Amino acid sequence: MTRAFIVEADGGSRGNPGPAAYGAVVKDAANGAVLAELAGHIGLATNNVAEYRGALAGLAHAHELDPKAAVEIRLDSKLIVEQMSGRWKIKHPDMRELALQVRAIFPPGQVTYTWVPRSSNAHADSLVNEVLDQVEGGGSPLIARTFASGLLVQDATDVIGDAEEAFAHSAAARSERARNRMVGWEEMDTPTTAVLVRHGATQFSLEKRFSGHGGADPGLAPIGEAQARAAAHELASRLQFDLVVSSPLLRTRQTAAILAGQLADDLVIMDELAECAFGEWDGLTFAEVQSKWPDELRQWLDSVDHAPPGGESFTQVHARVARARQELISSYPGRNILVVSHVSPIKLLVALTIDAPVESVYRMELRPCSISTTTWYPDGNNSLYGFAESSHLRGVDTFPGV
């Protein structure tokens, strides 16, 4: 039986244009259960841009849950509903680009667009204002809360009551932002320590080719295997690890196997830690992409919301990496975890740790088998202990950026 979701999306700007944010709620269409609350601050933008971003975030999460699902997306913007339904033309170039991104998430025919009055979109609207207030107070520019699916539905009254109760609990919880604390100075609970290791070099790495999930999936080059052994030797002197968590791609699994052989007994695969999908650019060099897709490459470099043709945007990757991080914190509290992943997910895990914007991915570099160390505390505080360390790679290092 085909699964079905409802996405309630909204966006708003305080100034139009002004400080803007989107909000999205993903629900199980069968019983009304809230599966996710998503919101993000997007800097200075218009209401329409923020509305499109809400649709993009909600649909991207629904696709992560089930790419074959039927989705009804509900918005209080008649403009976007009519544009996305194909009844109104999209004249503004920024809107056209966002519309293309929204349409690219699901195949044609799986998504329907429904206009609802503003009063019926209060949940998504509240997320917009929550994240705007959060940023004004110095807090995180992202909200990504997921909930267990499958509320037991007995009748329509129970559905409404359960959904309202879940929303009330989540609203109360999100009103209590963790206060800042001086990590290392104060008495604090035991954190989850996540040591983040990029995989060893592949032939694609050495040739500086785009290589994401859904592409060729190359294995480690001989120098990549040597880098993994060097990282294992270095980490053996630092911590005792409870488990190794790896992206599902071949190069990370091979790196993780080398590390786990010396450092931990358990190896867990987590799909959300896969590299960004680069779509039609996969396997090509930067110069080849620049020659064939100059405009698209410029847009990708200019905006974390722009995806390569057939690929993912950094905003979409950020959402799934945030879910992975929360799952690790919930599943392994107080444990030492070795996470083997890729450039983009590791950068985004670091950004989440220090409350940096998604755009910070453009300001970080990670060499193969470099080591970054983070701690995530139960009260919501985090700390970054080391970033992109590579002194252990002397003799097996490659040039920067590969």
Give catalytic residues, as residue numbers.
199, 275
The DSSP 8-state label assigned to residue 176 in this structure reads S
State how far the Cα of 40 lies from the Cα of 49, in Å rounded to an integer: 12
Domains of the chain in sequence order: 4-174 (3.30.420.10), 192-393 (3.40.50.1240)
Question: SS3 for 35?
Answer: strand
CA 231, 233, 237, 240 dihedral sign is: positive
ω into residue 345 within 30 of 0, thus cis?
Answer: no
**Can you give the pLDDT of all 402 residues of the chain as single tens digits?**
679 999 999 999 998 888 999 999 999 998 889 999 999 999 888 999 999 999 999 999 999 899 999 999 999 999 999 999 888 888 777 788 888 889 889 988 899 999 999 999 999 999 999 999 998 888 888 999 988 744 433 333 333 333 333 333 333 333 334 566 666 666 667 899 999 999 999 999 999 999 999 999 999 999 999 999 999 999 999 999 999 999 999 999 999 999 999 899 899 999 999 999 999 999 999 999 999 999 999 999 988 888 999 999 998 898 889 889 988 988 899 999 999 999 999 999 999 999 888 899 999 999 999 999 999 988 778 999 999 999 999 988 765 444
- State phi, psi for 347 to the nearest 5 degrees: -55, -45
Instruction: Report helix, strand or coil for 249.
Output: coil
Q: Is the pTM value of this prediction over 0.75?
A: no
Q: For residue 296, give the nearest of 288, 314, 278, 308 by alpha carbon.
A: 308
Whole-number Å distance between alpha carbons of 70 and 5:
6
Query: Which amino acid is it at 124?
Result: A
Cβ(346)–Cβ(372) below 8 Å: yes
DSSP-assigned letters across all residues of 192-203:
EEEEEEEPPPBH
Instruction: Report d(CA 268, CA 377) in Å as an integer.
Output: 22
